[in-house]
Amino acid sequence: MGYTVLFDILSATIIGGIILLNLLKLNENVYQEEVTTMMDVNLQVEVINVAEIMESDFNKIGYNSVPENINDLPKVTLADTSSIKIVYDMADSTGAFDGVYDTVYYYVSDTSALNGTPNPRDRILYRKINSDPPFMISNCIADLQFNYLDAMYDTLACPLLSPGLATYIKISIRVEDPFAFDQKYNEAYWRRLTVTAKNLKRN
């Protein structure tokens, strides 16, 4: 076999190897993009679900189905940076109202509650109604912040000693995947700049 033939075979092998490596790299990039996209979609669904639940509650602060039962007591009874208690007349499982104020309590666990996941920041967001057991809203909460403003839009220091002073509430949520991909944790945000209610006590 001549040197020319050997050179041609060697060249073809090298070129084929380069093409194969490029194809493998392309497949790896496509796989990484698909995984990242899937994780992003899951996080978006997660944060939308949390937002819908919280918006439904916060839009009803102070509501009472019986006008005679509406009072001037504060409708925010606890106000801290990562926990809040709000009050409104909540419908039961049949959709009926009883004219009695219910208390909805939002709070997050510490990070030790999810120490089985690689993410060092993820926590559980709970929603508790009256004396019922708490219900887990999300286990992907990396950050939850409540900020409170008075009628002049001035930020109030937390925890509020007089929660009834809160006229406006800012909510900020960041969710993260419990598992990293390529050493990064995907994240998604939801913010509601102000939450007000006509029945929220403003003094």
- What are the tens digits of pLDDT across the range 158-186? 998 888 788 889 999 999 988 887 788 88
Question: What is the predicted pLDDT for the residue at 142?
Answer: 94
Strand-by-strand arrangement of the 135-149 sheet: 76-79, 83-88, 102-108, 123-129, 135-149, 168-176, 187-195
pLDDT tens profile 10-27: 555 666 666 666 555 555
Residues 117, 109: Cα–Cα separation, whole Å: 14
SS (H, E, C) the chain: CCHHHHHHHHHHHHHHHHHHHHHHHHHHHHHHHHHHHHHHHHHHHHHHHHHHHHHHHHCCCCCCCCHHHCCCCCCEEEECCCEEEEEECCCCCCCCCCCCCEEEEEEECCHHHHCCCCCCCCEEEEEEECCCCCEEEEEEEEEEEEEEECCCCCECCCCCCCHHHCCEEEEEEEEECCCCECCECCEEEEEEEEECCCCCCCC
Q: Which pLDDT does position 15 carry in this prediction? A: 67
Q: What is the pLDDT of residue 203?
A: 40
Q: pTM of this prediction?
A: 0.79
Query: Residue 107 is encoded by which pair of tokens?
Result: 């709070």
Q: What is the pLDDT of residue 166?
A: 85
C-alpha count within 13 angstroms, C-beta hemisphere, residue 86: 28
pLDDT of 202 reads 45
Distances (CA, A) of 26 to 33, 39, 93, 199: 11, 20, 52, 58
Averaged pLDDT in 10-residue chunks for the chain of 203 residues: 55 63 54 55 87 93 90 89 95 91 96 90 96 94 93 90 86 91 85 70 44
